[in-house]
Amino acid sequence: MKTSRTFRAVRAHWAIVLVVAIIGLLGGTGRAALATPRYSSTASVLISVADPDEGAQQNYQSTVATTISESMNTYSSLATSGVVLNEVDSRLGLGQSVTQLAGRIHPSVPLSTSIVEVTATGDDADSAARLANTTVAVLGDEIVGSGMKQGSGSPALKTIIIQDGADAVVETGPNPPTGGLVGLLVGLVVGVIIALVVESAQRRGTDDSQTRRGAHHQEVVELS
C-alpha cells in the first residue's frame, strides 16, 4: 500500500524528483570539488630483540620475543598516549593538545607481526609525513626506554624504522564523483518526500472539494 502510494506520487510528480536529484548531484559534486584536500601518511616501526649482553641466559631471545608478541597491542595504544604525543608536540612545535593530536593519528598492528604502523593526517603531504615519522620515532624511544632490561641494565628491546612516512602519502580529501553520487541519492530521497507531500496535499484538496459538493447537493435535495 505504502509502496504503491510512493510510486504514484513519483509518477505524478517525476519532474520535481528529477530537479531535486539534479540539484543534489551538482551540490554534492561542487562541495567535494571545492573542499580542502587532506593527506595521510603511514610510517612503521619494528620492535625486535636487542643483542644480548655477554653471559645472557640461553632462553634470552625466546623470552624477549614472547614478551614483544604479547605486548604489541600495548605498544600500539602507547602511540596515542600523553607520554608520546606531548613529546611529539614538543619536537614539532605544533601547540596542539593530546586530544587534538590523537584525533590525527591511527596506530595499528598488522596481523602476526611485531610492527606498529602509525597513520597520521595533515593539511598537506609534508605535515602528515612529519607527524607520522615523529610519532613512530618517539614511540620507539618510549618502548625501548620503558621496556624490558637485561641483567646489566641495558635495553632488551630495539626498534627499527622500516617505513618512512614520506614514502607512503595519499590524498584523502573528498572525491567529486563520490560526492556527486551521495548528493544524487540525497536529492532522490528529498525529491520523493516532496512528491509525497505534494500528492498528499492535492489528494486532501480533492477530498475537501468532493465533500463540499456532496454537502451542497444534499442541501439542494432537502430544499426540493
Q: Is the pLDDT of residue 153 over 70?
A: yes
- pLDDT in the model for residue 172: 76
Q: Provide the residue count of the chain.
A: 224
Q: Are 160 and 45 in contact (CB under 8 A)?
A: yes
DSSP three-state, residue 105: strand
- pLDDT in the model for residue 220: 46
Residue whose grid cell is 506520487: 9
Top-confidence residue, 211 or 106: 106
- pLDDT in the model for residue 44: 96
What is the value of pTM for the model shown? 0.65
Q: Is the pLDDT of residue 58 over 60?
A: yes
Nearest C-alpha neighbor of 22 from the set 175, 196, 183, 195: 183
- pLDDT in the model for residue 91: 95
Q: Is the pLDDT of residue 181 over 90?
A: no
Q: Is the pLDDT of residue 156 over 70?
A: yes
- pLDDT in the model for residue 15: 85
CA 57 – CA 141 distance, rounded (Å) = 25
- pLDDT in the model for residue 90: 95
- pLDDT in the model for residue 105: 94
CA 41 – CA 132 distance, rounded (Å) = 6
CA 108 – CA 117 distance, rounded (Å) = 5
Top-confidence residue, 31 or 64: 64
Q: Given pLDDT bands bounded at 50, 70 and 90, which one contains residue 66? A: very high
Q: Is the pLDDT of residue 209 over 70?
A: no
Q: Report the share of the chain in percent with pLDDT over 90.
A: 45
Average pLDDT, integer, range 198-223: 60
Burial class (CB in 10 A: 0-12, 13-18, 19+), 122: buried
CA 14 – CA 58 distance, rounded (Å) = 79
